[in-house]
Amino acid sequence: MAVITGSNCAVPMHFFGDFRVVFERITVDYQTSGQNWIEPDRALWYQNGTVDRIDESYDAHREAAVDFVQAIRDRRPALCPIAEGLRDVQLLHHLTTSAERGGIPVA
């Protein structure tokens, strides 16, 4: 179970976006000024009393896509299994549907 909170100040031409994801033993904070050419975005990972800055210098989506193609070529499971992605999409669908229905659980 996790809780996600966020904000977007909707300032024209600036895309501010701060959010926090809280799991049972891990918290992740993401902060952006909307002007990453002036101040880089920050992502911090808190776990077991330590704080680590998440390295955003690489494109994780690209790495996942490259691995997916290579997994097909090598006939091996991808690092990000399709079934896991499908479960994530289904969960998000159920969460939003439940919220639209006033919190009624969705099967």
- The pLDDT tens digits of the residues spanning 9-54 come to 555 655 566 777 777 777 888 777 666 556 667 777 788 888 887 7
Residues 88 and 107 in one domain: yes
Residues 42 and 82 in one domain: no
Residue 14 is part of which domain span? 1-57
Cα separation, 35 vs 10, whole angstroms: 13
CB 15 within 8 A of CB 32: yes
The runs of H, that is alpha helices, within the chain are 60-74, 82-100
Query: 60 pLDDT band (50/70/90 cuts)?
Result: low
User: Quick one: tokens of 30?
Assistant: 């993401």
Domain boundary among 57, 77, 94: 57
Q: CA angle 28-30-36, nearest 5°?
A: 155
Q: Which long-range contacts (CB under 8 A, 24 or more apart) does 89-92 make?
A: none
- Check residue 29 and report its DSSP letter: E
Residues 77 and 107 in one domain: yes
Residues 16 and 35 in one domain: yes
Number of compact structural domains in the chain: 2
Residues 32 and 71 in one domain: no
> pTM score > 0.85 for this model?
no
